[in-house]
Amino acid sequence: MKKIILCIISICLIVNNPCVVEGKTNINHDKYSETMKQDILCLMMAYPENITAVINETGGNVYIVMSSGKKILYDDKMKKNPEQKFQNTDLQDMMEEIYPLETTRKLMEKDKNPGRNRVYEILDEVYGRGRNAIEHNLKNTNLVYRKLQFNGNNKASASLQETFKEITAMVGKSGNIYSSVFPLNGTYNYRLISGTNKFSPHAYGIAIDLNRDRRDYWKWASREEGQKRLDVYPKEVVDIFQKNNFVWGGKWGHFDTLHFEYRPEIIMKAKYFGNANTNRRNWYEGVPTNDQQVKNCVDKINKVLE
For Zn ion, the binding residues (CB under 5 A) are: 207, 209, 259
Q: Which is nearer to Zn ion, 188 or 284 (CB)?
A: 188
CB of 238 to Zn ion, least distance (A): 15
Q: Which is nearer to Zn ion, 35 or 189 (CB)?
A: 189
DSSP code, position 99: P
d(CA 179, CA 185): 12
- Pick between residue 40 and residue 221 the one whose CB is nearest to Zn ion: 221
- Measured from the CB atom, the residue of 184 and 304 that comes closer to Zn ion is 184
Q: Which residue is nearest to Zn ion (CB)?
A: 259
Q: Which residues contact 4 (CB under 8 A, 6 or more apart)?
A: none
Residue 258 beta carbon to Zn ion: minimum distance, rounded to whole angstroms:
7
Q: 244: helix, coil or strand?
A: coil
Instruction: Name, in order, each residue with C-beta under 8 angstroms of 17's C-beta and a sequence gap of 6 or more.
Output: none
Q: For Zn ion, which is the closer residue by CB, 56 or 189?
A: 189
In sequence order, the β-bridge partners of residue 259 are 209
Which residues are registered as beta bridge partners of 63? 55, 73
How many CB atoms sit inside 10 A of residue 20's CB? 11
- Closest contact distance (angstroms) between CB of 42 and Zn ion is 23
Shortest separation between residue 246's beta carbon and Zn ion, angstroms: 11
The one-letter amino acid code at 222 reads: S
CB of 211 to Zn ion, least distance (A): 12
Strand order in the sheet with 51-57: 51-57, 61-66, 71-73
